Amino acid sequence: MGSIQPLLQKCATLSHIKQLQAHLLTTGLFQSHPLTRSKFIEFCATSDHLLYAAHIFRHIASPITNDWNAILRGLAQSLHPAHALTFYRQGLRLLSCKPDALTCSFTLKACARALASHEALQIHSQVLRYGFIADVLLQTTLLDVYAKSGYLDHACKVFDEMSDRDVTCWNVIIAGLAQGNRPDEALQLFKRMKDAEFKPNEITVLGALSACAQLGMVQEGQDVYSYIKNQNLDTNEQVCNVVIDMFGKCGHVAKAYQVFNNMRCTKTLVTFNTMIMVLGINGEGAEALKLFNQMSFRPDNVSYLSALCACNHSGMVDDGVKLFETMTKDGSVVPNIKHYGTMVDLLGRSGRLNEAYNIINSIPITPDVVLWQTLLGACKTYGNVEMGEKASRKLVEMGSHSDGEFVLLSNIYAAQRRWKDVGEVRNTMKTKQVKKVPGFSYIDVGGVIHKFVNGDKRHSNMQEIYKKLEEIMCRIMEHGYVPETDYVLHDIGAEEKENALSYHSEKLAVAFGLVKIGGSIVVNKNLRICGDCHEVMKLVSRVYEREITVRDRTRFHRFNKGLCSCKDFW
Angle at 221 between CA 215 and CA 225, to 5 degrees: 155
Using alpha carbons only, give the angle 341, 346, 347 rounded to the nearest 5 degrees.
100
pLDDT tier, 106 (very low <50, low <70, confident <90, very high otherwise): very high
Q: What is the pLDDT of residue 85?
A: 93
DSSP bridge partners of 559: 548, 564
pLDDT confidence bin for 435, thresholds 50/70/90: confident
pLDDT for residue 42 is more than 60: yes
Measure the N-to-C terminal CA separation of the chain; round to a whole number of Å: 75
Helix then strand count (H, E) for the chain reads 31, 6
Cα 253 to Cα 21, 281, 282, 349: the distances in Å are 62, 10, 7, 24
At 550 the three-state DSSP class reads: strand
Residue 452 host element (H or E): strand 448-453
d(CA 399, CA 393): 10
Long-range CB contacts for residues 226-229, cutoff 8 Å, separation at least 24 = 227/194, 227/200
3-class SS of residue 253: helix
* pLDDT over threshold 60, residue 508: yes
Residue 272 has pLDDT above 70, yes or no: yes
Q: Which stretches within 150-182 are classed as H helix?
A: 152-161, 167-179
Residue 198 dihedral angles phi and psi, to the nearest 5°: -90, 150
Angle at 277 between CA 281 and CA 532, to 5 degrees: 10
Poorest-pLDDT segment among 64-68, 294-298, 329-333, 538-542: 329-333
On whether the CB atoms of residues 111 and 120 are closer than 8 A, the answer is: yes
What is the reported pLDDT for 492?
Answer: 39
Instruction: Work out the number of other CB atoms within 10 angstroms of the CB of residue 451.
Output: 17
Q: Which residue has the higher pLDDT, 401 or 381?
A: 381
**Cβ contacts of 31 within 8 Å, gap of 6 or more:** 37
**Residue 152 has what pLDDT?**
93
Predicted pLDDT at 323:
96
Q: 445 and 512 in contact (C-beta within 8 Å)?
A: yes
State the pLDDT at residue 463.
93
Q: Are strands 548-551 and 521-525 parallel, antiparallel or unpaired?
A: parallel
**From CA 139, how far away is CA 125, in angstroms rounded?**
13
pLDDT (0 to 100) of residue 496: 42
**Looking at the predicted structure, is the pLDDT value of residue 110 above 80?**
yes
Tens digit of each residue's pLDDT (9 = 90 or more) over 536-568: 999 999 999 999 999 988 888 999 999 998 888
**pLDDT tens-place string over residues 153-202:** 999 999 998 888 889 899 999 999 999 889 999 999 999 999 998 999 99
Instruction: Report the alpha-carbon distance of residue 218 to residue 250 in Å, rounded.
Output: 6
**Would you say 469 and 507 are in contact if contact means Cβ atoms under 8 Å apart?**
yes
pLDDT of residue 485: 60
Residue pLDDT, tens place only, 338-352: 999 999 999 999 999
CA–CA separation, 367 and 373 (whole Å): 11
pLDDT at 450: 94
Grouping H, G, I as helix, E, B as strand and the rest as coil, residue 482 is coil
Report pLDDT for 570: 74
- Edge to edge, what strands does the sheet with 563-564 contain? 448-453, 440-445, 521-525, 548-551, 556-560, 563-564
What does the DSSP 8-state code read for residue 485?
Answer: G
Rg of the chain's alpha carbons, rounded to an integer? 29
User: What is residue 2's predicted lDDT score, i.e. its pLDDT?
Assistant: 53
Tens of pLDDT, residue by residue over 299-333, are: 999 999 999 999 999 999 999 999 999 998 877 88
User: 488 pLDDT band (50/70/90 cuts)?
Assistant: low
Average pLDDT over residues 11-29: 80
What percent of the chain is modeled with pLDDT above 90?
53
Task: Please count the residues of the chain.
Answer: 570
pLDDT at 266: 93
Residue type, 150: G
Looking at every residue in the chain, the average pLDDT score rounds to: 88
Per-residue pLDDT, 499: 52
Q: What are phi and psi of 528, to 5 degrees?
A: -70, 135
DSSP three-state, residue 49: coil
Q: What is the DSSP letter of 486?
A: G
Helices (H), 79-166: 82-94, 101-114, 117-130, 136-149, 152-161
Decide: pTM greater than 0.85.
no
- Most confident range (mean pLDDT) of 136-150, 152-166, 344-358, 401-415 is 344-358
Higher-pLDDT residue of 310 and 29 is 310
Give the pLDDT confidence of 437-469 residue by residue, as tens digits: 788 999 999 888 999 998 888 999 999 999 999
Task: Name the residue among 473, 470, 445 with its Cα closest to residue 460.
Answer: 445
Phi-psi map region of 252: left, alpha, beta (phi>0 left; psi -120 to 50 alpha) = beta
- Rounded to 5 degrees, φ, ψ at 324 are -65, -40
Cβ-proximal residues to 371 (8 Å cutoff; 6+ apart), any chain: 337, 340, 341, 344, 360
How far is residue 561's CA from residue 479's CA, in Å, rounded to a whole number?
A: 13
Give the pLDDT confidence of 358-400 residue by residue, as tens digits.
Answer: 999 989 888 888 899 899 889 988 889 999 899 988 888 887 7
Least confident of 67-76, 293-302, 329-338, 463-472: 329-338
At residue 200, the pLDDT reads 95
Q: What is the pLDDT of residue 328?
A: 87
pLDDT at 331: 78
pLDDT band at 498 (very low <50, low <70, confident <90, very high): very low
